[in-house]
Every structure is written in C-alpha cells, then in structure tokens.
Amino acid sequence: MKGEWLHALHPGSTAQMTSGGSITEAFVNWLTHFSHYKVAGTCLLLFDGAISHLDHSIVDAADHHDITLLCLPCQTTHELQPMDKSVIGPLEHYWDKQVQLLYSHSKDHILTKQRFGNIFSDAWDKAAKPANIKAGVHATGI
C-alpha cells in the first residue's frame, strides 16, 4: 500500500489491502471507518445480499457501531438499491469521460493507481449529488 494511491481522494477516504482479498475483512474494516462519519445513534445501511457479505463478523461489527443492516435480496440491487438506481450509472458516465480526457490530453495513456483519485473524485462529485441520491430513494420506494 502506497500513500500516493490516496492522492486526491476526498478527506476521510481510505483504501486498504486485505490478506487474500477477503471481502469480509474489508467490509468489517469499512464499517469501523464508516462509524466515524455517520450521524450519532443508530443508522440503517442497505447492502446487497452477495454471499461474501453474509458473515457473522460483519453483523457483529455493525452491531458494535450501532449500524442496522438491511440485506437486499441477492441479484436485485439494480432495482432495490438507491445508489444503483441513480448514482452508479452517472458515476460510470463521468468516470468514462474523465478517462477519455486523460487519454486525449496526456502523452502517458496509462491509468495508474496514482491517477485514480483525481479521476474518481471528480466523477464522484458530479454523480453523488443530493438530488441524485434522493431520486434513487424515491425510485426504489424506500
């Protein structure tokens, strides 16, 4: 893990490497990180029902940090997950535009880990606007 990989990410962002690529380990660590930024008291976290997300250590970590988990049925998040409905599509669009700009304005056409933060942060700022998030909540009926 190199510090420059975090360059240009938003304050409070983090990245990690796990032993053997464990999504469970990453999810538990993310819950701890998230707990520092959530509102006080209990909050609800919607997440997809991928089998890799269904582990007792994830539930224990969420309980410890006063996070209530709502597991959406597997293979349905494209219809039920608010972020999938209204943020991820625009994020992919803006990401593609930023990568195209990189390729058209740079002699070095390699998307490196060091460049990731600049491209992602710009795309995220455009896609994760409150109006888009609210639209996703409305579209899913939550």
For 28-71, the pLDDT digits (tens) are 999 999 999 999 999 999 888 777 767 899 999 999 999 999 98
Residue 122 tokens, joined: 């710009």
* Percent of the chain at pLDDT exceeding 90: 45
Average pLDDT in the chain: 88
Q: Is the pTM of this model over 0.95?
A: no
Contact 122, 81 (CB under 8 A): no
